[in-house]
Chain A
Amino acid sequence: MTSPDVEVVVTGVGATTPLGGDVPATWRGLLDGRAGASTLDTEWAREHGFPVRIAARLAVEPDGELDHVELKRMDRAEQLAVIAARQACRDADLADDTVDPVRCGVVIGTGIGGATTLVAQHDALREGGLRAVSPQLIPMVMPNGPAALVGLALKARAGVHAPMSACASGAEAIAWAWRMIVAGDADVVVAGGTDACITPAIMAGFTRARSMSTRNTSPGTASRPFDAGRDGFVLGEGAGILVLERADFAAARGAKAYGRLAGVGMSNDAHHITAPDPDGAGQCAAITTALRRAGLAAGDIGHVNAHATSTPLGDLTESVTIRRVLGDGPVVTAPKGALGHLLGGSGAVEAIATVLSVRDGLVPPTANLETLDDRISLDVVAGEPRRVTLTAAISNSFGFGGHNVTLAFAGV
């Protein structure tokens, strides 16, 4: 499949992140290079002597956005997806009768899903017995819960899907949404990712895997992608949702378009359950596939929104991949310096940042990048946002399990 006849545009965006409760606040935070991480001062972290005391919590709690029944019946990851989806649909002017339900789809991925609820309900069972467990537990912990709830709200009948590829889940959801529209299965697909699992068991797991930064004395500078002093990622929480539409459908209803999702590429390393293939072949395949499907050449890509999580090995591997496929021309940024790692939410929030970069010709700085790792030879933006005229840009997302996803965005 190359340069499809059907074009896909982004007509609405929504997000709730550690930088802000919506897309404008998140985008401002990214442009300012502001870090969303802070000290995680919880009883459980103290009790178990967690070496990691940093997390990027939401800037705006969901309780102001949802009623008491929604809050009670939805896991936190579901709550964030629903909030971001409502914003995106409002932004796209998607009314109840805008699209025939049988032509409307939803694809929302999650990396971990309802872990916060599962852990809390397990505690409730141990302490209070069976009656203490909510009958709503299963729809709260099932990984397709966020997609199903948004699908219900939209009465989407063209298909509701929940891809799971760890930290690439949000990007993979957008890729599958693109495929649904290009294949002719839907005219409108609401897509993105969510995660909210700053919870003891998950923090413990990442801690035991030695994946996270322990720069506890300076949480705001802990996530520092591509920096020589990086020592791991910072766990965050958040969701991002995009409204994707067939371009002619959007044009016919007079919808504004932020940009085009021109092509997508997905691959797998088939190398190791958590470590990236140091050769980067899988990542290269995702990028080249996205470009081929978008009908773009390497030279068209003026900007890369990198996956770079601030881990020593991951950032280095991605830098080699980007340089191999695209050379040293693209202006690169790594939003996780500011956002932290939103797991399943990352790929979607970063896709939104990428399409805004293309639209505005503005690339946010990589927060906390002070000294570029001398093994990395890329043009990484640091300090201030960079003005650059962009024809097209890509957003990379990679996940445990060897998943690689590249989304290629272009101007309208």
Chain B
Amino acid sequence: MSPSDDIERTLAQLIAKVSGTDPVTLSAGRPLTGLSLRDELDIDSLAMVELTDEIETSYGLAIPEDNLPSLRTFGDVADYLRAAA
């Protein structure tokens, strides 16, 4: 499905930049929110560090490392950003 807001749109672009897998293309009609970062979007533990750097640079915020384990899906990260941004 298409991104529902600017946060999802930006997040999709950052994920595509980091892993080469575009969430919008991959979702093919499914909601973006349920996509697994690791299993579907090729964001392994090393790529998660890269994605965190990209998000922190784009949004000017710092994501504490303790929060990373709870970010498992596209929707987890989008919700986190909506709460933090």
Contact = CB atoms under 8 A, between A and B. Distances in A.
Contacts of B17: 68
Interface residues of A, number: 9
Nearest to B18: A69
A49 to B, nearest CB: 37
Nearest to B19: A69
Contacts of A139: 46
A136 interface: yes
A375 interface: no
Contact of B46 (A67, A68, A136): A136
B50 interface: yes
Nearest to A139: B46
Nearest to B45: A135
A134 B54 CA distance: 12
Contacts of B34: none
Interface string B6-37: 00000000000111100000000000000000
Contacts of A126: none
Contacts of A272: none
Interface residues on B, range: under 10
Nearest to A134: B50
B49 interface: yes
Interface of A, secondary structure class, is: helix
A253 interface: no
B17 to A, nearest CB: 8
Contact of A68 (B20, B47, B49, B50): B20
A48 interface: no
A136 B19 CA distance: 12
B53 interface: yes
Nearest to B49: A135
A131 B49 CA distance: 10
Nearest to A131: B53
A135 B20 contact: no
Contacts of B19: 69
Contacts of A136: 46, 50
Contacts of A67: 20
B16 to A, nearest CB: 9
A294 to B, nearest CB: 44
A207 B40 CA distance: 48
Interface of A: 67-70, 131, 134-136, 139
5 contacts: A68-B20, A69-B18, A70-B20, A136-B50, A139-B46
User: What 7 A-B pairs come out closest when comparing CB atoms?
Assistant: A69-B20, A135-B49, A135-B46, A136-B46, A67-B20, A135-B50, A69-B19
